[in-house]
Amino acid sequence: MKKVITFILTTLITTYTYAQCDNLPIPKTAWTIHYVDSEETTGEGANNGKAIYAIDGDTTKFWHTQWQNAQPGYPHEIQINLGNSYDVSGFSLLSRFDNPYGKPKDYEVYLSMDGSDWQTAQSVGELTYPNINAAAQRTYVYFGAVTAQYIRFNFLTPYDNNYYTILSEIDVYESTTCPATGQVNQLASFQTISKKYTTDAPFQVVATTNSSLPITFQILSGPATITGNEVTLTGTGGQVTIKASQAGDATYYPWEAVQTFDVVDLTTISPVITTRFIENEDVKMPTLSAYLLHAYASIDEPDALEISKVEYEIEGTKYLATLVDNSYQYWWTPSAFGPNEIKVIATASNGTVTTETYTLNVSNDIQDRSVMTFTNGVIDMGTIGSQWYFGTYDMPQFTGAYDEIIADFSISCPGVPGGCDDWDRLGWVEVKAPNGDWMEIFRYITPYGKACSDFTDVTDLASILQGKVEFRMYIETWGTGGWKLNLSLDYRAGTPKYKYSSVEELWHGDFSFGNPADLQPVPVISSSIQHEVDSALIRLISTGHGWGQNNSLNAAEFYHAIHHIDVNGVNTFDQDLWQKCNPNPASCSPQSGTWQYDRAGWCPGSMGMIFNYNLKPYLNNNTISLGYVFQEDYKDFCHPNNPNCISGATCPDCNDGYNPYYHVGGYLIKYSNDPFVLNVPSFKESKELSAVLYPNPTQHTFKLNIQDQWKNLVVSVYDITGQIIQVKYFNTEMDVNQYEFDLSILPNGMYFVKIQSEGSFANVKVLKQ
């Protein structure tokens, strides 16, 4: 077959072309393994794992470096005796046929006549695959023909952060029309050229070769010229294709490389505008009042460009918007009921301007409204493969028009294998606030395998429940059924006590309870109190989780704790976190399981308890300090951080790890009858936990890699029924990264790994084979 001889060296975007040659696969009948640094001799069964299965011609068998008893990491090496000498001109590698893992990335290839004198490499670089995330992918590399009987592969790095190499087949090619000449291949590289702007100064390109022969450059196309190795851009945008070449000599084959880079004309890039307000919903207000407009402006090439300003033009007058927590805001008071034209004008640092025009109809015809959000949405890990459900919905727009908002939620059995999940699962519904933060509107713990419903008052959150709103729900279901979701919000027409409100996040996420090394993990939060604030409250949802003999006093799910709220450093409010479950607060009974037992802030088949704490008496200063203090006399004596815990004596297992914790959602609600002053944003630090699990699939063990700094982490392994198989506590992410999790005694199949820390969590799947 006709092949273009292609060298793939240091980057994905650079290819090296030598000539058009016929390259045929060398028959494998006489091939043997000359050397391999690592192979799995037993763990993959009788007909897999060993290096010989990479050259047997059977694509359903594979070579796997060792994983049983030892797990040697990269680099990996395999040497093949071809059985005779050939004019070797290339090779291809076929990745494992049934999963996408184990692909090598950076490589070196050496050739030899005797299997010992390898001299210099004939090809080095980065292997590329058609689809790096798929199984059975073949990568090809060709080079100038060299007479050899032995070929040596050094695989230097992997693609998937694993320690092992897996290959179904290695093929080696000989050239019949471009025979070996006695020359060797140049090991050359063409340094990647990054994206450029039309205004960039001339720059130099760099290519090197081990031959030390001179390299020349040529612009093949695009808005640039070259003199020597200095590129000058012509001032227009486009793509530039440039070639580096070396003609070779009696010792070395010729070499050339071609790559393409973008040249961006910044003057052609304009801002993009989106808004939270919507044209097909009237803005309801009983009297003409200020209404807060939210717009968002962004621009491509943010390293070079930025948004200079955003303005609202109303009735011919322009008003400068204030950037508050990612949103360009302006208090607009309409001059009359009826349609109003509003222009949003965004200006960028390059001088480009984008204008979007909207028509908002202002009306005082205010009626009760019911808005459906989730409609037969399904959460199911077994078939859909997600614990989340998302949707964006058009909600009412208003000022002072509704005095009550009720969230009506129902859950039922979906048409998936298993129907309803059999167990009580933690869940919650959140909306994305104008600043981009996800804020919880209610907690819900599912019933034991049956349909139920509940409702709660969400009026405090009115400011984030209008306009175009993103919703999402999470349910910690695993693999034995799922849930069908329906959620409506009912807006009752009426005059609220306060015309305006705002929502600020105080605490959000999981916090350990009774950890001897950190008894009070919830941070103290300070918030500014503007002069126009008439009242404020804390809206707090807390639910306790974790139980068993390895948690002192069966905390936190079944422990009756009393926490308190500090205001300005003073113990001010108590939180009696205990919910009676029989009768069920949502009339969701009878159920299977232990539904009738009282719990810490929740019951199966109902929404979590919501606590409101009135802060109006404490608004005398410009700031307010708020602390959430867990019951101070509780300590989990079975916690891994208790140095006096003795497994089998003081507790069954001091390293159990399934320690008590609370899932917390706390928000500060401010009220006013006047529009809030638009302040400069606080730029609250926010991060989400993420983890990479490897190797995946695994036969025995796996590790986790967590990049950011975290503390008080719990890693739990679940089977598809949601039963905890393993759980382990760690003080920091570095402890997690160094730990090796062992699944060797478990049957093959899918498992789920949950990583929890203070304020965030992540779930990943792992397949044991």
232 and 255 together in one domain: yes
290 and 409 together in one domain: no
When the pLDDT of each residue in the chain is averaged and rounded to a whole number, the result is 92
- Answer whether residue 506 is part of any domain: yes
Which pLDDT band, with edges at 50, 70 and 90, does 687 fall under? low
pLDDT of 70 above 80: yes
CATH of the domain at 470: 2.60.120.230
Number of domains the chain is built from: 6
pLDDT in tens, 376-430: 999 998 888 889 999 999 999 999 999 999 999 999 999 999 999 999 999 999 9
Looking at 243, 265, 287, which one is the last position of a domain? 265
Which pLDDT band, with edges at 50, 70 and 90, does 173 fall under? very high
332 and 418 together in one domain: no
742 and 696 together in one domain: yes
Looking at 643, 672, 701, which one is the last position of a domain? 672
- Answer whether residue 356 is part of any domain: yes
pLDDT in tens, 298-338: 999 999 999 999 999 999 999 999 998 889 999 999 999 99
282 and 349 together in one domain: yes
257 and 282 together in one domain: no
For 382-448, the three-class secondary structure string (H helix, E strand, C coil) is CCCCECEEEEEEEECEECCCEEEEEEEEEEECCCCCCCECCCCCEEEEEEECCCCCEEEEEEEECCC
pLDDT of 17 above 90: no
- Answer whether residue 183 is part of any domain: no
Q: Among residues of the chain, what percentage have pLDDT more than 90?
A: 76
Q: Do the Cβ atoms of 172 and 88 come closer than 8 Å?
A: yes
82 and 142 together in one domain: yes
Q: What is the pTM of this model?
A: 0.79
483 and 525 together in one domain: no
Average pLDDT over residues 479-499: 95
192 and 168 together in one domain: no
For 96-139, the three-class secondary structure string (H helix, E strand, C coil) is CCCCCCCCECEEEEEEECCCCCCCCCCEEEECCCCCCCCCCCEE
Q: Do the Cβ atoms of 710 and 758 come closer than 8 Å?
A: yes
pLDDT in tens, 416-427: 999 999 999 999
510 and 657 together in one domain: yes
**Position with higher pLDDT, 67 vs 725:** 67
Looking at 328, 344, 363, which one is the last position of a domain? 363
CATH of the domain at 7: 2.60.120.260
pLDDT of 543 above 70: yes
- DSSP 8-state class, residue 200: P
Q: What is the rounded CA–CA span in Å between residue 712 and residue 639? A: 11
- Supply the range of the domain harboring residue 764: 692-768
- Answer whether residue 678 is part of any domain: no
pLDDT score of 681: 44
pLDDT score of 20: 66
Cβ-in-10-Å burial (0-12, 13-18, 19+) of 680 comes to: exposed
206 and 289 together in one domain: no
Average pLDDT over residues 519-524: 93
pLDDT score of 546: 92
The backbone region for 301, taken as left when phi is positive above 0, alpha when psi lies in -120 to 50, beta otherwise, is left
118 and 158 together in one domain: yes
- Answer whether residue 684 is part of any domain: no
Q: Among residues of the chain, what percentage have pLDDT more than 70?
A: 96
- Answer whether residue 683 is part of any domain: no
Q: What is the rounded CA–CA span in Å between residue 163 and residue 68? A: 12
pLDDT of 164 above 60: yes
- Answer whether residue 682 is part of any domain: no
